[in-house]
Amino acid sequence: MVGKNTHDSKKYKKDLEEEIVKLDANLSKAQDMLVDSKIDHEDYANIKRKISSEKIKIEDKLNELKKDVDSNSELQNQNINILTNILAVYDKVDIRDKLRLIGSIFPEKLIFDGFKYRTARINEVVRLMLLIDNKLGATKNGQLSEFLELSGQVELPGIEPGSKQETKVLSTCLSCY
């Protein structure tokens, strides 16, 4: 979600900056034409007014873009703070917020089978944090963490061709230790 939007905003910022450079070059050409008496003062004043107006609009867009980036950075910092202090946050909030917090980590059903917690999917941010915590590499058995059990088994065939696996267990498991 962030990568593409960041790339688009950087390209947009670069395009706006290039437009300002072009406007400055056009103003410089108009000044040269005025000095060479190719245009009169009135024409130069009109050209300068038009270029200045366009330049102000572009600078306003650049400032707005900077505000958006600053706002997003502040929001990201708040979210990172929550994630890094998740246990303290969990202990302080009421039961409704605890459910929301667990639901944001495990977006699909969280099931306790008496021994382990299982879920079909884990939040991508949490998954990436586990990868970072595990030095950006999964263990040889394909697990992200000793606390999560990712099923390596494949679902039975349905509409699409099946695999050679016989069992139907798809889940991510959070062990109770």
* pLDDT for position 75: 77
* pLDDT for position 130: 67
* pLDDT for position 118: 73
- What percent of the chain has pLDDT above 70? 68
Angstrom distances, CA of residue 7 to CA of 13, 14, 59, 119, 151: 10, 11, 20, 33, 35
* pTM listed for this prediction: 0.43
Average pLDDT score over residue span 57-80? 82
pLDDT at 50 over 90: yes
pLDDT in tens, 55-66: 999 999 998 888
Angstrom distances, CA of residue 40 to CA of 26, 28, 30, 43: 16, 15, 10, 5
